[in-house]
Amino acid sequence: MLKKYIAIVTGGTRGLGAAIVHQLASNDWNVHFTYQSDEQSANDLLDKYENVFAYKADVKDYKRTREVVEEVISIEGKIDCLINNAGIKRDKSLGFMNERNWRDVIETNLSGVFNYSKFVGKQMIKQKTGVIINISSISAFIGLKGQTNYSASKAGVNGFTKALAKELGPNNIRVNSVCPGFIKTEMTEQLNETEMIQDITLGRFGSTKEIADVVVFLISNKASYITGQTIIVDGGLAI
C-alpha cells in the first residue's frame, strides 16, 4: 500500500479494532483511533507505532465526534478511510432488559456509526473519494436469545450502510459493512465454544486477523467496484 493514507478507527484498543489498527499501521497508514477507557492498551499501541494516534472519545458523544474528526483533518488534511468498529453488548432477555441496556447498545452500535459517518462523510465529499467500513455482525441475520438490542443495532448498521452507499457513491465514496460470526475476542469469552462450533461449518471460531484481512481488502483498490454490500465472514454459520 502507498504510504500516508489516513484512517480513523473507532474502538481501536481491543479485539477486532486493535487487529485493524495493527494491520493498517503495519502497512504504513497513519491511523487515528478512538477508545473510551482502556488507557493501557491505547498507550501500548502508541508505543509500538509512530504512525498511530489516540483519542479518548465516546462514540455516542456527537460533539466529541466532531472534535475528533476536525482534529484529524487539521493534522492530516484528509481522511481516506473510516472504520466504524466500536460496539458493545448488554445481553439480557427482553423481559429483563431495562431501558439503559437498550439505549446504550443502540446509541453505541448504531448512533456511533451515524456520528462518525456524518462528519467524515462531509470531508470525503469534499475530497471526492473515500471508503467507509461499518463493522456489523452475523447477529443481524440470525439473532440470538438475549440479543434483541444487539441484533437490532447491527441490522440497523446494515440498512444504514446500503442507504449511505447510494448517497455517497456519486462522490466516488464506497460504503460496505463486514459481518463477523463468532470471533475470539473479549466479547465472546463467555460463550461455550465447544457447543457453539457445532453450528459453524468450518468447526471453529474465527480470529481477529481474519476479519481485519477482509477489512483491508475492502478498503483497497482491489475492491474498487464493491459498495453497499454486507460481507459475511462467519465460517459458514449462517448457511
Residues known to be catalytic: 150
Which residues 6+ apart lie within 8 Å of 73 measured at CB? 79, 123
Report the DSSP pairing between strands 52-56 and 6-9: unpaired
Distance CA 230, CA 126 (A): 26
Main-chain phi, psi angles of 78, to 5 degrees: -165, 165
Amino acid sitting at position 215:
V
Amino acid sitting at position 161:
T
Look at residues 72, 85, 96, 87 and name the one whose alpha carbon lies nearest to residue 187.
87
Going through the chain in order, the beta strands assigned E by DSSP cover 6-9, 30-35, 52-56, 81-84, 130-135, 173-180, 230-233
* Look-up of cell digits 463477523: 180
Distance CA 143, CA 141 (A): 6
